[in-house]
Amino acid sequence: LGEEDLALLDGGTEARSAAVVPPATVAVVGRPNVGKSTLVNRILGRREAVVLDTPGVTRDRVSYPAEWSGHAFTLVDTGGWETDVAGLDARVAEQAEVAIDLADVVMFVVDASVGATATDERVVRLLRKAGKPVVLVANKVDGPSGEADALALWNLGLGEPHPVSALHGRGTGDLLDAVIDALPVRAAVPEGDREGGPRRVALVGRPNVGKSSLLNALAGTQRVVVDEVAGTTRDPVDELVELGDRPWWFVDTAGIRRRVHQTSGADFYASLRTQAAIEKAEVAVVLVDASAPLTEQDTRVISQVVEAGRALVIAYNKWDLMDEERRFYLEREIERDLVQVQWAPRVNLSARTGWHRAKLVPALETALASWDARIPTGRLNAFLGELVAAHPHPLRGGKQPRILFATQASTRPPRFVVFATGFLEAGYRRFIERRLRETFGFEGTPIEISVRVRE
Ligand code: GDP
Ligand code: GDP
């Protein structure tokens, strides 16, 4: 094992004591064609242009993990969502409003070569009202001759315009320094404090599955006064709800309660909110409508949770509408569409009648316990030793990779690193994952296995 590997092994304890702080959200806002997507690509260091030409194309992904000089943040990209020109003004404003609502810091992009337009002014009014920190981006300043155009944007009254060329990269370093300066200082919640403290839950799912009904049923009479619980990062859009004798943070409940208008951009808003809520949470409850066929939108939300590495509970709502026929199809759907997440606890309930509402807490607790779980290195290697002896990796081209050692590098979710003498096939990695789950549980949490090749 190399030095780096040994550091990783040590890192086990380090990762355990590191506190989980949700990264701050930076939203890139502005009217179409000012260069938002170009700027996002520049910040993420993506080569391929994701600048979309096709009208009506919706993207799944709206937020991305980003980093600048050691500071991690979540970048929300609102570019590429505008679909047609009619009523554009209103829609830009509406889109900006959602993004501003979610953001800790807003990057407001203006095309300096055009100057501020009436649409820009409209967004400026929203920004003033929201009172969030704003970093003003004067884009398309491709060379020194454009600097004067940037200066003209002082007139917007949003402070210093930062001249950049998203296309060529000019000025983007200084811009990101300004963004980092504007980020809120979030106190890391120490592990010890968090042990007994409220955990963060996201209630997500496609529109009309019953999120607000369930939230009302759960929160109903039991809303806790926030100040009663000390030592937590709080956000006015989160709500403290007492369930099963303990408080839980339900994140972004404002987004659930304030129903999104069914405009052409509704998918976008829903997707944006969902992603943001998942990232803020430790465990997500994905609500699906048991009375209707599972849709692609449902499975997409489930994938978002898994990809974000959060604990997962699937709640089948509207169970009061269930009949024998539907139940038959439901079981087949679960086998067909949810095989990838067989490990997720499923709860059948009815937000309307309150039936089985109490089953949610045990499922949340199970999923979180798995998410936090750590397998001691000794046990892990004893397990792998037996597994490999009974089922060695298949021989390929006369060679057979040997597994040398494994360790759990981190928790939340559990991440394993396997050291081997050669690349392990995807099928064999899945086999290891399946056996890990059979042996150690991990009900309700995604797990990750990566392989490091050592000669
Ligand atoms: P969005 O609609 O705000 O996401 O804007 P896009 O990122 O799609 O950019 C709109 C157009 O402006 C594209 O043709 C870009 O290539 C161009 N553009 C973006 N940034 C710059 C820049 O810094 N300089 C110049 N000259 N063009 C840019
Ligand atoms: P949201 O968009 O996910 O927040 O969904 P809502 O909570 O607004 O619910 C959408 C519709 O489904 C409303 O008409 C609710 O009354 C109805 N609904 C929610 N939960 C249930 C349930 O458990 N059973 C039945 N029959 N209807 C429900």
Closest by CA position to 310, among listed 397, 432, 225, 202: 202
Q: Which residue has the higher pLDDT, 320 or 79?
A: 320
Residue 358 DSSP code: G
Output the pLDDT for position 4: 58
Average pLDDT over residues 150-168: 94
Q: How many whole angstroms from 143 Cα to the centroid of ligand 1?
A: 15
> Ligand 1 pocket: which of 33, 48, 165 to mutate (most atoms <8 Å of CB)?
33
Cα angle, residue 427 at apex, residues 422 and 429 outer, rounded to 5°: 60
Question: Does the predicted interface ipTM exceed a cut of 0.95?
Answer: no
Average pLDDT over residues 421-444: 92
What number does the ligand 1 atom closest to the CA of 52 have? 8
Of the listed ranges 55-64, 332-341, 359-368, 391-400, the one predicted with least confidence:
55-64
Q: Which residue has the higher pLDDT, 93 or 137?
A: 137
Output the pLDDT for position 90: 61
Output the pLDDT for position 203: 95
**pLDDT level of residue 83 (50, 70, 90 thresholds):** very low
Output the pLDDT for position 129: 87
> Ligand 2 pocket: which of 213, 259, 285, 322 to mutate (most atoms <8 Å of CB)?
213
Percent of the chain with pLDDT over 90: 43
Output the pLDDT for position 291: 93
Mean pLDDT, the chain, whole residue set = 81
| CA quadruple 360, 363, 365, 367: dihedral, nearest 10 | -140
Model confidence pLDDT, tens digit, residues 342-393? 999 999 999 999 888 889 999 999 999 999 999 999 999 999 999 999 998 9
Flag whether pLDDT at 46 surpasses 90.
no
**pLDDT level of residue 119 (50, 70, 90 thresholds):** confident
Strand bridging mode 161-163 / 200-204: unpaired
Q: How many whole angstroms from 37 Cα to the centroid of ligand 1?
A: 7
What number does the ligand 1 atom closest to the CA of 142 have? 24
Average pLDDT over residues 327-352: 92
The rounded distance, in Å, linking the Cα atoms of 227 and 105 is: 25
Of the listed ranges 262-271, 316-325, 374-383, the one predicted with least confidence:
262-271
**pLDDT level of residue 279 (50, 70, 90 thresholds):** confident
The rounded distance, in Å, linking the Cα atoms of 385 and 382 is: 5
CA distances in angstroms from 441 to 390, 415, 445, listed in the order given: 21, 14, 9
**pLDDT level of residue 313 (50, 70, 90 thresholds):** very high
Average pLDDT over residues 269-293: 89
Output the pLDDT for position 6: 55
**pLDDT level of residue 230 (50, 70, 90 thresholds):** very low
Residue 120 C-beta-side C-alpha neighbours within 13 Å: 20
The rounded distance, in Å, linking the Cα atoms of 222 and 212 is: 15
Pocket of ligand 1 (CB under 6 A): 30, 32-38, 51, 79-80, 139-140, 142, 165-167
Q: Which residue has the higher pLDDT, 299 or 4?
A: 299
Output the pLDDT for position 145: 92
Output the pLDDT for position 130: 85
**pLDDT level of residue 37 (50, 70, 90 thresholds):** confident
pTM of the model: 0.66
Output the pLDDT for position 346: 96
The rounded distance, in Å, linking the Cα atoms of 50 and 31 is: 17
Flag whether pLDDT at 71 surpasses 70.
yes
